[in-house]
Structure 1
Amino acid sequence: MDIMGWVFRTARNRDGRAHALEERAQEVGPGSVPVLVAVEAGLEVALGTKLLDGWLSNRRQVLVPHTLNFRALAPDASALLVEVMAAAAQADGEVDPREAQQLPLALERVGAGEAEARRLEAALAEPQHLGQLLARVEEAGLATHAYAAALLAINRRARVNRAFLDYVARRLGLPAEVAGSLERRYRT
């Protein structure tokens, strides 16, 4: 009968209450506040440690912008990112019909408007100087945004495009974890 009582008591106490701590507090007595303070302090330390560990393990996700939103960018920053998209599309030597069809959809996906679509058409009509473009990106502090824009513009499975992305990531100084995180975020 004692075993059955224990089983039913265990099954009944699934409401999140800490019966072991409550029983310990009752055993010590009402004048033993230091035990309860020590238990609360231990819980605070455990919770703080868990939060810090979670933050440290996900700090790349917290510190790196994972959302590319053209509506939130300044006009000159959005123009620069459109030029990066054009350079990425031109990386393999030509803009094929599939890329030409996908680029406006990618722009729409990230909140770009008509002005950005017109700028993209103009940028695709002329070759982009990648070195100068990436220097401007670094100067503007838009490295992660530019990498995300390049990801949206090209097919990553093609070897030349993969080499282009690797070059851009290294040139902009993006750690491999950040580049990988952006690639998972902006799968096409």
Structure 2
Amino acid sequence: MMSFDLIGRLFGSVRDRDGRADVLEKLAQHEPTLPAPRNPSAPEELLPVALATKVLAGWLANRQQTLVPHTLNFRVLGPAQADLLLAVMAAAIQADGEIDSREARQLSLALRRVGAGEDEARRIGAMLAEPQHLGTLLTRIQEADLATHAYAAALLAINRGTRVNRAFLDYVSARLGLVPDVAGSLERRYRA
């Protein structure tokens, strides 16, 4: 009730110029009288408020994982989706112009980690032999609604420590429209 009165007084007055807030300064000089806090008669009345507060605090603390539930699992992907993600992995590996020993070792571990089998390993080997057209590939990723999956696949495939690979990941993230919180969450989740 008091807050509506305050808002009404603020909007009812002429707006101050140059960042001044005469109305707020006048209100700050007078100490407002707040209504006495309601004293619950039974602890059961506090339970819904306490529970709601706990749920909200948990959701806010972990909102990115709640908003972007993400598991990269090749066993549940269709063949077309798996091929897109394998092509992203190949493009990521090709980004710096060479496949170093760490990336080769990392690729086989990454494929096992995400449930890919021998068939996927053979297909990515063939993809690595040909240059991938990144622009077309990222457009197809967006059309298939696999942006977070593609970014996770790229993270697993390459060494993030080099500047070229870091620039590649930043470009892919920006091109796929991933907000920094989501990209950061995926980077923490898919550490190589």
Tell me whether the two structures share a fold, i.e. TM-score over 0.5.
yes
Q: CA deviation at 1:59?
A: 1.6
Distance 2:106 2:41 in 1: 65
Correspondence for 1:35 among 13, 22, 41: 41
Matching of residue 161 in structure 1 with residue 165 in structure 2: yes
The alpha-carbon deviation at position 102 of structure 1 amounts to 2.3
- Asked if 1:64 corresponds to 2:64, the answer is no
Aligned to 2:105: 101
What is the aligned counterpart of 1:44 among 28, 42, 48? 48
CA–CA distance in 2 between the matches of 1:105 and 1:53? 37
* Number of residue pairs matched by the alignment: 153
Gaps of 5+ in 1: 1-33
Q: Percent identity?
A: 72
Distance 1:133 1:89 in 2: 14
1:85 aligns with 2:86: no
TM-score calculated relative to the size of structure 1 = 0.77
Distance 2:173 2:103 in 1: 21
- Aligned match of 1:143: 147
Whether the aligned pair in 1 keeps the contact of 2:102 and 2:159 (CA below 8 Å) is: no
User: Which residue type is aligned with residue 181 of structure 1?
Assistant: S
Q: Give the 3-state SS of the residue equivalent to 1:35 in structure 2.
A: coil
| Aligned residue runs from structure 1 range 12-23, under 5 A | none
Q: 1:56, CA displacement in angstroms?
A: 2.5
Rounded Cα–Cα distance in structure 2 between residues aligned with 1:144 and 1:90? 20
- Contact preservation (8 Å) 1:65, 1:144: no
Q: Residues 74-113 of structure 1: CA distance to partner in whole angstroms, max 9, x if unpaired?
A: 1211111000000000000122233223212210111001
Q: Answer yes or no: is the 8 Å Cα contact 2:74–2:82 preserved in 1.
A: yes
> 2:177 aligns to what?
173
Query: What TM-score, normalized by structure 2, do the two folds share?
Result: 0.76
Q: Which segment is superposed worse, 144-153 or 55-64?
A: 55-64
Structure 1 residue 128 displacement after superposition = 0.2
Tell me the secondary structure at the aligned position of residue 156 of structure 1.
coil
- Detail structure 1 runs of 4+ shifted over 6 Å in the superposition: none
What does the per-residue CA deviation read over 1:115-174, in whole Å, with 9 as the maximum and x for residues that have no partner? Answer: 211110010000000000000110000101000000001000100000000000010011
Question: 2:59 corresponds to which letter in structure 1?
Answer: W
Alpha-carbon distance between aligned partners in 1 of 2:64 and 2:102, rounded to the nearest angstrom: 33
Q: Equivalent residue for 1:127?
A: 131
Once the two structures are superposed, residues 31-56 of structure 1 have per-residue CA deviations (whole angstroms, 9 ceiling, x without a partner) of: xxx822xx212221121122022113
* Mapped partners of 2:70, 2:185: distance in 1: 8
Structure 2, gaps ≥5 residues long: 1-39
Measure, in 1, the Cα distance between the counterparts of 2:49 and 2:128. Answer: 56
Q: Is the 8 A contact 1:86 1:128 kept in 2?
A: yes
Find the aligned partners of 2:101 and 2:50 in 1 and give their Cα distance: 57
